[in-house]
Structure 1
Amino acid sequence: MPDNPFKAAILALIKAAPAGLSEYDLIQCLQELDQAFAFDDVDPDLALFRRHFLVMNALYQLQTELFDRGMYLTVSPLDIRLEPVEHAGLSSLPADNATAPLREYYLNWEFFRQTGHADVENMLNRFRLRYLAIDERLEALRTLELPADAPWETVRQAYRRLAAQHHPDKGGDPARFRAIRGAYECLMRCYPA
């Protein structure tokens, strides 16, 4: 695996921030330290992808190297920190958790080399759609007067209760009834079958 050209600078920044730092802070510091990290010659979204990829690649390379030296590097967008392995309570690097696929992705230089503007645009669009769907789900739950973690059976019960209460045939407000029905239809798409 090729060595990341920013790994030494990233490690120095992490060591200088014992309380930890975010990926955003790390990227800002790197841009101030090294003009090559800016990628001013490419599309802004592609430049963002490249900066992000280089940081994550370096972090995962460092995580492996540092673990062998008794230190654990926490890799999270909002919390990048270095601590002794015994404080982290680990006997080995986590291999089967949710971050394993991310780790594999960012350690593969082919993704950095092969990802172009159209690929980044597709990734950003998928990201935006996923979070738009989350917003719609939360709004639908609010319409049904439910918390964000309501199970499907509770959603069905709330819909039935509110639909009966606000049905126009029973003197309810047609606009409120349509909102309740729309929220329920949205949630039918969001919950697993």
Structure 2
Amino acid sequence: MTAEDTLQPLQALLSLRLADGCPCSEYDLLRWLQQPQQGLFSPTALQEPQSMFQAHFLLMHCLYSLRQQWANERSALLDISALQIQKHPWPAHSQQQQPDQHDPLAAYYLDLQHLQTSDDDIEQLLRNFWQRLLQPADEAADLATLELQPPTDAGEIRLQYRKLAMRHHPDRGGQPERFRDIQSAYQRLRQRYL
């Protein structure tokens, strides 16, 4: 029995759940799979990083497998995005080929070896996610608020924050709004650098 064979019940349930074409989120599907009627994911599956990663990975693996299967059969299209998952009928006169064969996300989730990702790797993935989520738009503005230029480091950020906080503190005659801006910028930079 292959790993794919053991995932058949999950894939079959997902196929039934998506059959009506109504859009749903990944979270909706995960919660649905936790319900006693389905009995596939434990009620605690989303509470710890390792089990949450495994539940997410198995769900995405099955969704990408279904997308591939339905495209091969030319029976349906499956949109998988961060916001929603939705099955669409295959267009009657479509010349559309298979889903993008160079889809790195699909390649990742279709490789079951990634299911064995260690706790440390999962923690690192989560840290990287939050750093990327916070970084792009805010970092340049936060550095400017602290009157810094990239590249910088944790020590320089801490020193500049203390200097500006002393200068702009309301108890020392500074503007409360400017002081709050400095504090907020420092807190965001602190999460990234310290």
TM-score interval w.r.t. the shorter chain?
A: 0.5 to 0.7
What percentage of aligned pairs have identical amino acids? 26
**Shift >2 Å, 4+ stretches:** 33-36, 38-43, 87-90, 137-143
In structure 2, the CA distance between the partners of 1:42 and 1:62, relative to structure 1 (3 Å rule), is closer
Q: Secondary structure at the match of 1:91?
A: coil
Residues 24, 77 of structure 1: 8 Å contact kept: no
Aligned counterpart in structure 2 of residue 23 of structure 1, from 16, 22, 26: 26
- Displacement, 1:76? 1.2
- 2:24 maps to a residue whose letter is L
CA shift in 2, pair 1:43/1:23, >3 Å: closer
Give the CA RMSD over aligned residues.
3.5
CA contact (8 A) 1:23 1:80 kept: yes
The separation in 2 between residues aligned to 1:13 and 1:43, in whole angstroms, is 24
- Is 1:85 aligned to residue 90 of structure 2? yes
Residues 53/36 of structure 1: CA separation in 2 closer, same or farther (3 Å cut): same
Q: SS at 2:23's partner residue?
A: coil
Match of 1:124 in 2: 126
In 1, are the aligned partners of 2:46 and 2:55 still within 8 Å (CA)?
Answer: no
Deviation, structure 1 residue 10: 1.0
1:102-122 CA-partner distances (Å, limit 9, x unpaired): 11110111110x212111111
1:104 aligns with 2:107: yes
Question: Structure 1: which 5+ residue stretches go unaligned?
Answer: 144-172, 187-193
TM-score where L is the length of structure 1: 0.63
* Aligned-residue offset at 1:89: 6.1
In structure 2, list runs of 5 or more residues that go unmatched: 146-173, 190-194
Kept in 2: contact 1:61–1:107 (CA 8 A): yes
1:58-96 superposed Cα distances (whole Å, 9 cap, x missing partner):
011001111122211111132211112328966112223
1:167 corresponds to which residue? none
Cα separation, 2, equivalents of 1:142 and 1:87: 55
Aligned counterpart, 2:14: 10
Residues 138-170 of structure 1, C-alpha deviations (whole Å, 9 max, x = no match):
855997xxxxxxxxxxxxxxxxxxxxxxxxxxx
Question: What does residue 134 of structure 1 align with?
Answer: 136
User: Which of the numbers 95, 105, 110 marks the counterpart of 2:101?
Assistant: 95
Matches within 5 A, 1:38-187: 38=42, 40=44, 44-70=48-74, 71-86=76-91, 91-92=96-97, 93-96=99-102, 100-112=103-115, 114-137=116-139, 139-140=141-142
**3-state DSSP of counterpart to 2:108:** helix
Letter in 1 for 2:89: P
In structure 2, relative to structure 1, the CA distance for the partners of 1:130 and 1:36 (3 Å cut) is same
Equivalent residue pairs, number: 146
